[in-house]
Chain A
């Protein structure tokens, strides 16, 4: 039984391989966009971007798939199914850095191009990883958002998550490095809202009391930015104090509408899906190779430069304001 299955399996694979090499010119390049779980607005938006890339490239079929719950086991099943379908490329946002490596290795042995995006896989399990942005870009962006509203300079304060949040601390550090590029902007203090709505609200209120001439609050955390916007509204300082930082459009729509926040940033899932598809296409058609230092084009998003871990950053975080918030608030 086992023997026959192996025989048949081998034969089937041989035919598939032959078919694959023979029908190279006409068959569309099939790129599977594997997400953490189906039904999440962020990933639905990424799929939209992938379709956009496919339309631009022409000869591409996007397979948008993923498990129903955000588990590594679910994704492994999906990967195995994709290997059986002989897709040309898998672009995955993983639920586990290491657990997916064996399945993805198997896919690569079968000649399938594997890249990770958004949430990465360990280097041995993929050819490259696409980060939505990079720490220096984020650090610069949050300060730029505040400075753009303050052409004359002004006082800004930071509302972070906890004192030990790695991400927030790195972003603030990167922000401090570029502080010299923004003339007249003074950072008067950093407070910590612990990612609790009530504590963030109190800290933001405290900032406005301590610095009555405060011009902006930068909150690089999604709980903090919402709470700070509410505190500014309640203090009647809409228009005086601008709240900016990193947040999600659905959560920030109210603050943009009230004017408490003029703009904020976060990665754009549409661009991310678009870029991942472009990259997967380039690698699957052997137009580019994923090696440290390589520069791979990704259509309207420019090129991706890979570092020594074959990782690259897509772009600056995407800026959301009153002109585009309505397009995104129902997406994620």
Chain B
């Protein structure tokens, strides 16, 4: 019963219905090859949404992810253009490290200066985009300036799946384990669910938010390389407006904007839902004027469902304490 009501089951059902609908108009869409392609295409969105999820869980929002992605991507592309012999592994490390540093800047501002995260990341978003212009002078880094190893890595196939898709899967699994099995994972929920209670249990709210931003930044940095390598082009405006799609994936997945509620599985399904819609719209012959309206409607429906769900109680992170509390009540 609770499974039927759960948001994840609902969303999973919606995705299946969506696939059936698409298949009725364009059967080729559900061919295994194509589904792999769709998943691969959705992977950057998925990875960013996972990072965004932990940020939103702590009652914050990170609007700088797309700018972070673009800046890291530009740095990677310029590195590759300048030093074509640099191994991809080094570039990956640089990407993740640079992304993490940018996330830390957000986190530090939110933590130490207590500025609302929407303001901080709105600012850093513009700053990061501006830095891309400064380092590149507005010029593009093009396909013929990148090495084959650089652009080939996300496409390389391991066990039938492109590396890009594997990164999506690894990030999802890693994040699930981190959220459910580590103190930090539980701290994200605690901080978002009830900051005052979190302080009393010895969790630093600011520090937890700092780590959330760092994690989101590191994942955005990783995506920066993957994105630039995939499309084989880097310029100032790449992934423009992508941060809103990332937030949308989280919201559709049931992550409450008010913080503290939602699951990683929800985010994964939310990202997949958006990814399927984005990939299906071009083939089902829907007027481009309708495409944005359809994506928008999905978000509104999801938020409405969220609102109804959030009337329930918060997530219980200490089962034993609750048992004691209920015992106390009966006595």
Contacts and interface: CB of A to CB of B under 8 A. Distances in A.
B142 A254 contact: yes
Interface stretch (B55-63, B191-199, B282-290): B282-290
A191 B287 CA distance: 9
Interface string B228-253: 00011100011111100000000000
Interface stretch (A12-20, A48-56, A166-174, A193-201): A193-201
B26 A210 contact: yes
B34 interface: yes
A163 B155 CA distance: 31
Given A202-B41, A209-B28, A230 B283 contact: no
B320 interface: no
Nearest to B241: A196
Of the four ranges (under 10, 10 to 19, 20 to 34, 35 or more), the interface on chain A belongs to: 20 to 34
Given A197-B231, A206-B282, A210-B283, A253 B288 contact: no
Contact of A253 (B144, B240, B282): B144
Given A197-B233, A198-B239, A254 B282 contact: no
A209 B278 contact: no
Interface string B36-51: 0100010000000000
A192 interface: yes
Given A209-B34, A257-B144, A196 B282 contact: no
Contact of B232 (A196, A250, A254): A254
B231 A201 contact: yes
Given A198-B239, A250-B140, A329-B144, A191 B233 contact: no
Nearest to B280: A206
Contacts of B283: 206, 209-210
B26, B140, B282, B285 interface centre (most CB from chain A within 10 Å): B282
B113 to A, nearest CB: 34
Given A254-B142, A254-B143, A163 B289 contact: yes
A205 B238 CA distance: 19
Of the four ranges (under 10, 10 to 19, 20 to 34, 35 or more), the interface on chain B belongs to: 20 to 34
A230 B232 contact: yes
Contact of B282 (A203, A226, A257, A329): A203
A230 B143 contact: yes
A230 B151 CA distance: 11
Interface in A170-226: 189, 191-192, 196-199, 201-203, 205-207, 209-210, 226
Contacts of A230: 143, 231-233
Given A196-B240, A227-B231, A254 B144 contact: yes
B288 A191 contact: yes
Contacts of A253: 142-144
A253 B140 CA distance: 13
Given A197-B231, A202-B282, A192 B143 contact: no
Given A230-B231, A234-B155, A206 B279 contact: yes
Contacts of B155: 234
B266 to A, nearest CB: 24
A76 interface: no
Interface in B111-158: 140, 142-144, 146, 155
A96 interface: no
Contacts of B232: 226, 230, 254
A255 interface: yes
B284 to A, nearest CB: 9
Contact of A209 (B26, B140, B146, B238): B26
Nearest to A231: B231
A230 B29 CA distance: 20
Contacts of B288: 163, 191-192
Contacts of A321: none
A254 B234 CA distance: 14
B29, B144, B238 interface centre (most CB from chain A within 10 Å): B144
Contacts of B28: 209
8 contacts: A196-B240, A196-B241, A206-B281, A210-B26, A230-B143, A251-B140, A251-B233, A254-B142
Given A226-B232, A230-B231, A251-B142, 7 more contacts: A196-B240, A201-B231, A202-B278, A202-B282, A209-B34, A227-B231, A250-B140
Q: Closest 3 A-B residue pairs measured CB to CB?
A: A206-B282, A254-B143, A253-B144
